[in-house]
A and B are shown apart, each in its own frame.
Chain A
Amino acid sequence: MDNSSYSNHQQQQFQHQVQEVSYAGHDNNVGSVSGSTSTSAANGSYNYSQVFSAFPPSNNLYGYGPSNYQSSNYGYLQQGNDSYAQNTGIYPGSAAPYQSVSSFQNRSSYTELASYPGASTYYNGGAYQASTYPPASVYSGPTGAWNNQSYNSYGSYPSYGGYSAPNSSSNLNAVSAQSQYQQECQQWADYYASLEPKVQSATVTSSAPGTEPDIPSAVSLCTSTPTYASVVAQGTSNNFYSAVNQPPPPGTQPSWQVPAPSHFETASQHLSSTTGTINNGSQWDTALMQLPVNDSYGQSSEHFQQVQNNNSLQQEQQDPLPSSQQDTHVTHIPEPSPSDHQKPLKFHSSVQQFTSLEASKQRMSKLQIPTNPRITQNLGVVISNGPKGALPDSSKPQKPAYISIRGKSSINKVSSDDIADATLQPGMFPPSLRAYVERALALCKDDAQKAVCQDYLKEIITQASCDGSLFSKDWDIEPLYALSSMLAKGISKQVAASVKLDSVSTRRVKSRWEPVGEKLEDIKDSIDADSSKTEVLEGSKGQEFAVSPKKWEKQETTWINQQQHHITSTKPSKRGGQKIKKPDPGTGGVGTSSESDTDLDQGGFHLGSLLTTETPEEKRKRQTRTKRFERSKEYSGPKGSTKPKLQGNASSRRASAIRLVMSVGDVNGQAVEDINWDSLTIRGTCQEIEKRYLRLTSAPDPSTVRPEDVLRKALAMVQSTPKNYLYKCEQLKSIRQDLTVQRIRNEFTVQVYETHARMALEAGDLAEYNQCQAQLKGLYSEGISGSYNEFTAYSLLYMVFQNVNNRDLLSSMARLSHAARQDEAVRHALAVRSAVATGNYTSFFRLYRTAPKMSSFLMDLHVERMRFEAVKCMSRSYRPTLPLSFMARTLGFSSLSLVNGLDEKESDGLEDCEEWLKTHGAQVVYESSTNELMLETKMSAATLFMPEPEDVVPHGDANLAVNDFLTRS
Chain B
Amino acid sequence: MWAREREEREREMALDRRDSVSSAPWRGNAAGSLFFAAAEASRKLAEYVNSVIEALSTQNGRTLASLLAISSPNSFCELVASALELAKEPIKILKQVDKHAPLGDMLSNHTKCMHSYHQRRYVEAFNALEKSANMFLQEFRSWESAWAMEALHTIVYELRTLAQMADREMVANGKIPDKLKGAGSFLMKVFGALAGKGPKRVGALYVTCQLFKVYFKLGTVHLCRSVIRSIETARVFDFEEFPARDRVTYMYYTGRLEVFNDNFMGAEKKLMYALRHCHSSKRTNVRMILKYLVPVKLSLGTLPKEWLLQKYNLREYLNVVRALRRGDIKLLRHALHANEDGFLRSGVYLVLEKLEQQVYRRLMKKIHIIQKLKDPARAHQIKMEVIVKALSWLDISMDVEEVECIMAILIHKNYIKGYFSHKSKVVVLSKQDPFPKLNGRANIL
Question: B-contacting residues of A (Cβ < 8 Å)?
Answer: 805-807, 809-811, 813-814, 834, 837-843, 872-874, 876-883, 886, 890
Chain A residues closer than 8 Å to B341, beta-carbon distance: 814
Q: Is the CB of B408 within 8 A of A811?
A: no
The CA-CA distance from A805 to B260 in the complex, in Å, is: 8
Counting chain A CB atoms within 10 Å of each CB, the highest count among B350, B354, B405, B411 belongs to B405
Q: Mark B254-270, 1 if CB is under 8 A from A, else 0.
A: 00000011100000000
In the complex, which residue of chain B has the Cβ closest to the Cβ of A821? B340
**Is B219 located at the chain interface by the 8 A CB criterion?**
yes
Contact of A877 among B261, B345, B353, B419 (CB under 8 A): B419
Contact of B349 with A890 in the complex, beta carbons under 8 Å: no
Complexed CA–CA distance, A873 and B409 (Å): 6
* B423 to A: closest C-beta gap in Å: 8
- Give Cα A876–Cα B219 distance, bound, in whole angstroms: 40
Selected contact of A842 from candidates B350, B404, B412, CB within 8 Å: B404
Q: Across the interface, which residues of B come within 8 angstroms of A841, CB to CB? A: 405
Please judge, given known A-B contacts A807-B260, A813-B344, A842-B401, whether A877 and B408 are in contact too, CB under 8 Å. yes
Among B341, B350, B357, B422, which residue has the most Cβ atoms of chain A within 10 A?
Answer: B422
Q: Do the beta carbons of A838 and B402 come within 8 Å of each other? A: no
Q: Provide the residues of chain B in CB contact with A806, threshold 8 Å.
A: 260-262, 347, 350
Q: By the criterion CB–CB under 8 Å, are B422 and A878 in contact? A: yes
Known A806-B262, A810-B350, A837-B354; contact A879-B419, beta-carbon cutoff 8 A: yes
- Partner of A837 from the list B260, B350, B408, B410 (CB cut-off 8 Å) is B350
Tell me the nearest residue of chain B to A844, going by C-beta.
B405
Verify A813–B349 contact, CB threshold 8 A.
yes
What separation, in Å, do the CA atoms of A810 and B346 have in the docked complex? 9
Known A806-B260, A878-B420; further 20 A-B contacts with Cβ < 8 A: A806-B261, A807-B260, A810-B347, A810-B349, A810-B350, A813-B349, A814-B341, A837-B353, A837-B354, A838-B356, A838-B357, A841-B405, A842-B405, A872-B412, A876-B411, A877-B408, A877-B419, A878-B419, A890-B401, A890-B405
Interface presence of B369 (CB below 8 A): no
Contact A843 B260 (CB under 8 A): no
B221 interface contact, C-beta 8 A: yes
User: Judging by beta carbons under 8 Å apart, are A882 and B422 in contact?
Assistant: yes
Closest to A874 in B: B408
Asked whether, in the complex, the Cβ of B402 is within 8 Å of the Cβ of A843, the reply is yes
Contacts of A810 in B (CB 8 A): 344, 347, 349-350
Whether A838 pairs with B344 at a CB distance below 8 angstroms is no
User: Do A877 and B420 touch across chains, with their CB atoms under 8 A apart?
Assistant: yes
Residues of B within 8 A of A (CB): 219, 221, 260-262, 341, 344-345, 347, 349-350, 353-354, 356-357, 401-402, 404-413, 419-423, 428
In the assembled complex, the Cα of A873 lies from the Cα of B349 at a distance in Å of 25
**Least Cβ–Cβ distance between A891 and chain B, in angstroms:** 11
Q: Given that A838-B353, A839-B409, A843-B402 are contacting pairs, would A879 and B344 also be in contact in the complex, using a CB cutoff of 8 Å?
A: no
Q: Chain A contacts of B357 at CB under 8 A?
A: 838
> Which of A806, A877, A882 has the largest count of B CB atoms less than 10 A from its CB?
A877
Q: Is the CB of B412 within 8 A of A876?
A: yes
List 8 tightest A-B contacts by C-beta distance, closest first.
Answer: A877-B411, A842-B405, A814-B344, A877-B408, A879-B419, A873-B412, A876-B412, A807-B260
The closest CB in chain A to the CB of B349 belongs to: A810
Q: Is the CB of B402 within 8 A of A842?
A: yes
- Complex formed: what's the CA distance from A538 to B353 in Å? 86
Judge whether B219 and A811 touch: CB under 8 Å: yes
Cβ-defined contact, A807 with B408, below 8 A: no
Closest beta carbon of chain A to B82's beta carbon, Å = 40
- Cα–Cα distance between A880 and B424 once the two chains are bound (Å): 11
Q: Is the CB of A843 within 8 A of B354?
A: no
Cβ–Cβ < 8 Å partners of A807 in chain B:
219, 221, 260, 347
Q: How far in angstroms is the closest Cβ of chain B from A906? A: 15
Contact residues in B for A811 (Cβ distance below 8 Å): 219
A878/B405 in contact, CB under 8 A: no
User: Bound state CA distance, A877 and B430, in angstroms?
Assistant: 12
What is the interface of chain A mostly: helix, strand, loop, or mixed? helix
What is the minimal beta-carbon distance from B418 to any residue of chain A, in angstroms? 8
Chain B residues lying within 8 Å of A876, measured Cβ to Cβ, are 411-412
User: Please, how many angstroms separate the alpha-carbon atoms of A691 and B357 in the complex?
Assistant: 55
Residues on A with C-beta less than 8 A from B419 are 877-879
Contact across chains for B420 and A879 when beta carbons are under 8 A apart: yes
| Chain A nearest Cβ from B248, distance in angstroms | 22
Are B221 and A838 in contact, with the CB atoms below 8 A? no
Task: Specify which of B261, B262, B354, B401 lies most central, judged by the most chain A CB atoms within 10 Å of its CB.
Answer: B401
A839 neighbours in B (Cβ, 8 Å): 409, 412-413
Write the chain B residue with the least CB distance to A872: B412
In the complex, the answer to whether B422 meets A886 with C-beta atoms within 8 Å is yes
Q: Which residue of A lies closest to B408 (CB)?
A: A877
What's the Cα separation between A883 and B260 when bound, in Å? 39
Cα distance A834–B350 in the bound complex, in angstroms: 9
Contacting residue for B421 out of A837, A838, A840, A879, CB 8 A: A879
Which residue among B221, B344, B421 has the maximum number of chain A CB atoms within 10 Å of its CB? B344
> How distant is A874 from chain B, measured CB to nearest CB, in Å?
6
List chain A residues, Cβ under 8 A from B405. Answer: 840-843, 890
A residues near B349, Cβ cutoff 8 Å = 810, 813
What are 18 A-to-B residue pairs whose CB atoms are below 8 Å?
Answer: A805-B260, A806-B261, A806-B262, A809-B350, A810-B349, A810-B350, A837-B350, A838-B353, A838-B354, A841-B405, A842-B401, A843-B402, A877-B408, A877-B411, A878-B421, A879-B419, A879-B420, A881-B422
C-alpha spacing A814/B422, complex, angstroms: 39
Q: Which residues of B contact A874 (CB under 8 A)?
A: 408
User: In whole angstroms, how far apart are the Cα atoms of A843 and B357 in the complex?
Assistant: 15
What's the minimum C-beta distance from B170 to chain A, rounded to whole angstroms?
A: 18
Q: How far is the CA of A715 from the CA of B50 in the complex (A)?
A: 74
Nearest-neighbour CB distance to chain B for A268, whole angstroms, equals 71
Min Cβ gap A499→B in Å is 35
Please measure, in the bound complex, the distance between the C-alpha atom of A810 and the C-alpha atom of B262, giving whole angstroms.
13
Contact A840 B422 (CB under 8 A): no
Q: Are B421 and A873 in contact (CB-based, < 8 A)?
A: no
Choose among B262, B409, B422 the residue that contacts A838 (Cβ–Cβ < 8 A): B409
CA distance A877 to B357 in the complex (A): 15
- Complex Cα gap A883–B424 (Å): 12
For the complex formed, measure the closest distance between the CB of B382 and the CB atoms of chain A, giving whole angstroms: 14
Name A809's closest neighbour in chain B (CB-CB).
Answer: B350
Q: Please indicate the chain A residues that have their CB under 8 angstroms from the CB of B354 in the complex.
A: 837-838
Measured between beta carbons, the chain B residues less than 8 angstroms from A837 are 350, 353-354
Q: How far is the CA of A813 from the CA of B343 in the complex (A)?
A: 11
Report chain A residues within 8 Å CB of B401.
842, 890
Docked complex Cα distance between A821 and B189 (Å): 43
- In Å, the complex CA distance between A878 and B427 comes to 9
| Cβ A840 vs Cβ B260 within 8 A | no
Interface centre among B345, B420, B428 (most CB of A within 10 A): B420
In the assembled complex, which residues on chain A have CB atoms less than 8 Å from the CB atom of B350? 806, 809-810, 837
Evaluate contact between A877 and B347: CB separation under 8 angstroms.
Answer: no
CB distance from A838 to the nearest CB of B (A): 7
For B407, list chain A residues within 8 Å (CB).
877
Whole-angstrom distance between the Cβ of A875 and the nearest chain B Cβ: 9
CA distance A366 to B219 in the complex (A): 58
Of all chain A residues, the one with the shortest Cβ separation from B409 is A839
- Measured between C-beta atoms, what is the minimum distance from B341 to chain A in Å? 7
Least CB distance from B274 to A in Å reads: 20
Most buried by A among B260, B341, B423: B423
Q: Which residues of B have CB within 8 Å of A814?
A: 341, 344-345
Which among B341, B401, B408 has the greatest number of chain A C-beta atoms within 10 A?
A: B408
Q: In the complex, A843→B341 CA distance in Å?
A: 24
Query: Nearest-CB distance from B250 to chain A (Å)?
Result: 19
A287 and B420 alpha carbons, distance in the complex (Å): 100
The residue of chain B having its C-beta at the shortest distance from the C-beta of A846 within the complex is B402
- How far is A188 from B222 in the complex, measured between Cα atoms in Å? 73
Tell me the nearest residue of chain B to A835, going by C-beta: B405
Q: Which residues of B contact A886 (CB under 8 A)?
A: 422
Which residue of the partner chain A has the closest CB to B416? A877
B353-A840 in contact (CB<8A)? no
| Contact A878/B408 with A805-B260, A811-B219 known, Cβ cut-off 8 Å | yes
